[in-house]
Amino acid sequence: MTPRQIIGQIGLWLSVFVIVSPAILFFLWMLSLSLKFEVDNAAYPPVFFPDRIAWKNYADVLASNRFLTYFTNSLIVTGSATLLALLVGVPAGYGIARMAAHKSAIVILIARITPGLSYLIPLFLLFQWLGLLGTLVPQIIIHLVVTVPIVIWIMIGYFETTPMELEEAALIDGAGRWQVFRHVALPIAKPGIAVAFILAVIFSWNNFVFGIVLAGRETRTLPVAVYNMISFDQLSWGPLAAAALIVTFPVLLLTVLAQRQIVAGLTAGAVKGG
C-alpha cells in the first residue's frame, strides 16, 4: 500500500465510524437505560455500564397483566391488516401491471401524500355510527390505509419485471386467467410478495396515530400503550426504556434479518404509511 492508499483507508473507516455511530450509540444507550436501576439512571455523570443489571425492568413489563393484551392486539391488528392487504393487493398489482393501467397508480400516490389524520376524521365518525369503537375492527380497517398501498405499489413493480412468455403459453394451453395467476404468476412473484409482506408488517406495527384516536383501554396496540406509559410513569426510565425496546425489538430483528428485501422494497417504491 502506498501512503496515499493508507490515508484513503483511514479516511474511509473514519467516515464509516462517523456515519454508523449515531445509530449504534443510540441503540446501545437504549439498552443501557433499560438495564439500569433508577439510582443509576438518575446518576450524573451518566453510568454507562452499571454494577448491577436490572433484569427486573423487563420482568416487570412482561409480567404486567395488560402487556399481553396489548401485544395480542398488535399481533391481531398487524396480522389481519397485512393478510387482508396481501389478499386484495397482490391480485390488484397483477391486474394493474398486466393491463398497464399506470394511471390507476395515481390513487396510490394520493394515498401516499394524504396525511393519516384526514382518513381518521370521517372513518372515526363511521365507526362510531356502526358502534365498532370498542373493538379492534376499526384499527384493522384503518391500518389497511397503510398496508394496501404498500402491497399494490410493490406488486405492480414486481409483476412488471416478471416474464410474460410463460403466462401466454399457459393461456394458449387453455388455462383460465385465474389459473394462470394462481399457478404461473404467483409462484414466480414469491420474492416480491415477501418484500410487500415485510414492509406492510413493519409500517403497520409501528403505526401510532391511528391507535391514539381509535383505541380504547382494552384495544391499545403496543406503540399506543408505550406512549401512555410516558404520561403515567414519567420518572422511571428503566421500565420505560425496557418497554420501548420490547415494542421495537421485533421490527429491528426483522430489519437485520430481511435487510435485502427491505432495501429492495424501499428503493423500488419508497412507500411509507402514515
Partner 1 sequence: MSALTQSTPAAARSDAAPEKELRPPSYWPFVVPALVVVLAIIIFPWVFTIWMSLNEWKVGSPTSFVGFSNYLRLTSDPRFIEAIGHTLVYTALSVLLPLVLGTFAAVVFHQNFAGRGFLRGVFIMPMMATPVAIALVWTMMFHPQLGILNYLLSLVGIPAQLWVFHPATVIPSLVLVETWQWTPLVMLIVLGGLAAIPTEPYESAQIDGANLWQVFRFITLPLIMPFLFIAGMIRMIDAVKSFDIIFAITQGGPGSASETINIYLYSVAFTYYDLGYGSAIAVVFFLLIVLLAAVMLYARQRMLWTEIASGA
Q: Which of residues 74-133 bind partner 1 (CB under 8 A)?
A: 84, 87-89, 91-92, 94-96, 98-99, 101, 104, 107, 110-125
Which residues have CB under 8 Å from 22's CB, separation 6+?
A: none
Burial grade of 21 (CB within 10 A; 0-12, 13-18, 19 or more): exposed
Three-state SS for 204? helix
Distance CA 212, CA 221 (A): 9
Q: Tell me whether residue 46 or residue 134 sits nearer to partner 1 (CB atom).
A: 46
x-or-dash pattern for partner 1, window 186-215, by CB under 8 A? ----------------x--xx-xx--xx--
Q: How far is the CB of 95 from partner 1 (least distance, A)?
A: 3
Three-state SS for 147? helix
Q: Tell me whether residue 37 or residue 181 sits nearer to partner 1 (CB atom).
A: 181
Three-state SS for 115? coil
x-or-dash pattern for partner 1, window 131-170, by CB under 8 A? ----------xx-xx--x---x-----------------x
Q: Is 50 in the site for partner 1 (CB under 8 A)?
A: no
Q: Tell me whether residue 45 or residue 65 sits nearer to partner 1 (CB atom).
A: 45
Q: Which stretch binds partner 1 (CB under 8 A): 65-73, 131-139, 188-196, 223-231?
A: 223-231
Alpha helical stretches, state H, the chain: 3-34, 38-41, 56-63, 65-99, 105-113, 116-130, 137-161, 165-172, 177-180, 186-188, 190-206, 209-214, 222-232, 237-257, 259-268
Q: How far is the CB of 104 from partner 1 (least distance, A)?
A: 8
Q: Tell me whether residue 54 or residue 145 sits nearer to partner 1 (CB atom).
A: 145
Question: CA-based angle 140:272:197, to the nearest 5?
Answer: 60
Window 17 to 36, contacts with partner 1 (CB under 8 A):
19-20, 22-24, 26-27, 29-30, 33
Q: How many residues bind partner 1 (CB under 8 A)?
A: 102
